[in-house]
Amino acid sequence: MLEYSHRAGFPGHLYAVTPAVPDLGLPGVTTVPALGHITEPIDLAVIARPAAAAPGAVAECASAGVRAVLVITAGFGELGGEAAVAEQRMRDIATGAGIRLLGPNTFGVFAARSRVNLTPREHIPVGPAVLLSQSGNVAVACYEQARRLGTGFCACVGVGNQCDISFGDLLEHFASDPAAQAIGVYVEGLHGRGDHFRAGLAACQAAGKPVVVLRGGRCAESALAVATHTGALASDDRVWQEVLAGAGAITVTSTQDLTDTLAVLTMVPRHRGRVMVLTDGGGDSVLSLDALDAAGLTVATLSPVTVKALDEITPPDAPHAPGRNPVTLDTAGGVEDDPLVLARCAAVAAEDEGVDVLLLSGLTGGYPRVREQEMAAVAELIAIRDRTGVPVVVHSAFADAATPPAEALRRAGIAVLPTVSRAANALAAAAVRTSGGTAPTVADPGPAAGTVLPVAEVAGLLREHGIGLPPMTVVTGPAELAKAAASSGYPACLKIADEAVAHKSDVGGVRLGLADAAQLRRSANELWERFPGSPLLVMPSLRRGIELLAGTGTDPVFGPFVMVGRGGIWAEMDPDVTLRLAPIDEDAATRALLSLRCAPMLTGGRGSAAVDLNALASLVAALSRLATARPDLSVEINPVIAYPDGCSVADLRASAREDGQP
């Protein structure tokens, strides 16, 4: 590490502290037996001692007045037990001395501007992006992929266990760094620093710095082990989706996507997703349209003036796609004969107000017979980009061949990618989205966590937080039933109130439309015969409407949340839910409701009556306040029945952690 920093041209003094070897013989590095032998102020100490010795080394740094420490040693909190206690002790020492500590369990730090490379890799490609990673191997994969793309990093940080400095701290720092044009994140966990992470994302969003996140462990068992359906639908990945989407972060699923997206984001401004396609082959035209559609982008609609101009300069035998997008230049007089024809078409398309991006797809760099003209076409493409401000992205089968045209494009800040799908996906990441989202993955709810609360207690909690409920009475025998029958409204509903049964209708535990007290008693006897000893819930039989669910839970990293979605018996079969961190107000609750796939059912689609969105939003907002007040609870209301004139709660369920903790 010290040698790499010396080779990188670090202008300061480098010291190796080791009592075992008089002189390590590293160029540009002075070897000393102890920190006390260094007489000048120490900007940063790197600790590479065994885990057992690391806390003592931090204490030495505190005594020497060091203000920043990097601990690359592993074997701390990631192991749990006594190792985690040692990590906390190290943090306490650092905090008490005013030391900022990065790590432990980190691959180090690279900072191009300071010419510092305290990592195990010497040749890190330099460029305009930042990489924050909890994995050294992931970082190396990104280095090599960025190198092939002709881009790189101004800084790379191994985040490690976040004993002190967290992802959030680093995001806030790079939000204000003018050298950082985009920030890539590989994260596996936040070690309870969810608030820091959200603050860092917010700082980047405010600064206009795009953040691209690759999260490891997306398919892990849900951390939200709760007893309600809501817990099954709201996996921890769902909470991450909400946090990242709410902060405008871009999510990817591979290191290649991470690197491609960073490369394009540093070369292409955010855009509306309307793409002009120019290719030198029919197959590339077809595949480009497929890739753009799969990525959620649109083919730009050209003006009549642009269409006419393109007709005048394209070869007579060239295919004429509807609307002249894409333009395919694979016939006589096309790119193979005259590479500049592609640039001429690009110049016309770039002047069209309906075009946000030019995508060139095909064999750029693959025409050595007309290389001089090809290089002239490349120069013209760069000039078009600079003159019009319309960004250019190139897909070429020769992208990895380091041909002169591809290298010239990259030097000019134009991304050249080897597949059109990668180009389309990266362009999609740079597009400005107004709505959208992905359907959640439904996890197995697993065993119930905590204690399922009695219905009467849950009803009381909901009423305390401003959620209106129909009359509900729990009865345990004929005497209580007779009293309930005398006061109940009809038609009535009767259902088992056994806390262990979540799907009451699945086991035949519900009776609807009971017209009078006699039917109520008869149905109660049937249920008691089938479910001996079970309490029964008596309530009005509600009229039909649109069935939704609403629920609460608490994520161990990001805290309380509220969820709303399509409800009833099919809630888990076709999940259509959205989640918001709590609390939210009525306006945010309305936006959440309108983001559902089933929103047309709520707003009067296909001629149906619109439901009372204000009533639904009020219920969801109130439920979010309950989530904040009682993070130890997991509550589900399913279904909430929505009507044009309000909404009613038809069933409810809640569990509480026995230790009272979220």
**Per-residue pLDDT, 440:** 33
* 28: Cβ contacts below 8 Å, ≥ 6 apart: 2, 3, 6, 14
Residue 297 · residue 273 · CB < 8 Å: yes
Average pLDDT score over residue span 229-248: 73
Average pLDDT score over residue span 434-450: 38
pLDDT exceeds 50 at position 437:
no
The tokens of 116 are what?
A: 């510092």
pLDDT exceeds 80 at position 528:
yes
**Per-residue pLDDT, 193:** 81
pLDDT exceeds 80 at position 230:
no
**Reduced to 3 states, what is the DSSP secondary structure of residue 220?**
coil
Convert 86-122 to b/e letters by CB count within 10 Å (16 or more is b).
bbebbbebbeebebebbbbbbbbbbbbebebbbbebe
Answer with the residue of higher pLDDT: 509 or 433. Answer: 509
Phi-psi region at 192: left, alpha or beta (left = phi > 0; alpha = psi -120 to 50): left
Residue 591 · residue 602 · CB < 8 Å: no
d(CA 169, CA 164) in angstroms, rounded, equals: 9
Average pLDDT score over residue span 158-179: 96
d(CA 138, CA 184) in angstroms, rounded, equals: 11
467 band by pLDDT with thresholds 50, 70 and 90? very high
For 169, other C-beta atoms within 10 Å of its C-beta total 19
Token pair 């439309």: residue: 513
Per-residue pLDDT tens digits for 251-290: 999 999 999 999 999 999 888 999 999 999 999 999 999 9
For 322, other C-beta atoms within 10 Å of its C-beta total 7
d(CA 416, CA 264) in angstroms, rounded, equals: 9
pLDDT exceeds 70 at position 233:
no
DSSP letter string, 536-564? EEEEE-PPP-EEEEEEEEEETTTEEEEEE
Token pair 């005594």: residue: 63
**Per-residue pLDDT, 78:** 78
Distance of CA 599 to the CA centre of its chain: 23
Per mean pLDDT, which range of 188-197, 541-550, 578-587 is the poorest?
188-197
Pairing type for strands 14-17 and 153-158 reads unpaired
Per-residue pLDDT tens digits for 51-106: 999 999 999 999 999 999 999 998 888 788 888 899 999 999 999 999 999 999 99
Residue 639 · residue 446 · CB < 8 Å: no
Q: Find the DSSP H helices in 255-370.
A: 255-265, 282-294, 304-313, 340-350
The tokens of 250 are what?
A: 């871009």
**Per-residue pLDDT, 1:** 83
**Reduced to 3 states, what is the DSSP secondary structure of residue 470?**
coil
pLDDT exceeds 90 at position 434:
no
Residue 612 DSSP code: -
Residue 649 · residue 638 · CB < 8 Å: no
Domains, in order of start, for the chain: 2-102 (3.40.50.720), 109-265 (3.40.50.261), 274-430 (3.40.50.261), 471-540 (3.30.1490.20), 546-656 (3.30.470.20)
Average pLDDT score over residue span 362-382: 96
Pairing type for strands 357-362 and 274-279 reads parallel
Average pLDDT score over residue span 319-336: 93
Residue 355, amino acid: V
d(CA 549, CA 547) in angstroms, rounded, equals: 7
d(CA 402, CA 365) in angstroms, rounded, equals: 9
* 642: Cβ contacts below 8 Å, ≥ 6 apart: 545, 546, 547, 548, 602, 611, 612, 615, 616
Residue 172 DSSP code: H
pLDDT exceeds 80 at position 456:
yes
For 498, other C-beta atoms within 10 Å of its C-beta total 18
Residue 538 · residue 520 · CB < 8 Å: yes
Average pLDDT score over residue span 560-573: 82
**Per-residue pLDDT, 582:** 95
d(CA 285, CA 309) in angstroms, rounded, equals: 20
Beta bridge partners of 649: 640
pLDDT exceeds 70 at position 183:
yes
pLDDT exceeds 90 at position 439:
no
The tokens of 315 are what?
A: 């070869």
552 band by pLDDT with thresholds 50, 70 and 90? very high
Please give the mean pLDDT across all residues of the chain: 90
**Per-residue pLDDT, 227:** 35
* Sign of the torsion formed by the C-alpha atoms of 346, 351, 354 and 356: positive
For 569, other C-beta atoms within 10 Å of its C-beta total 13
- Would you mind telling me the total number of residues written for the chain in this entry? 662
557 band by pLDDT with thresholds 50, 70 and 90? confident
627 band by pLDDT with thresholds 50, 70 and 90? very high
Per-residue pLDDT tens digits for 17-62: 998 888 888 889 999 999 999 999 999 999 999 999 999 999 999 9
| % residues pLDDT > 70 (the chain) | 92
* 178: Cβ contacts below 8 Å, ≥ 6 apart: none
Instruction: Provide φ and ψ at 130, rounded to 5°.
Output: -115, 145
661 band by pLDDT with thresholds 50, 70 and 90? low
pLDDT exceeds 90 at position 571:
no
Average pLDDT score over residue span 511-531: 92
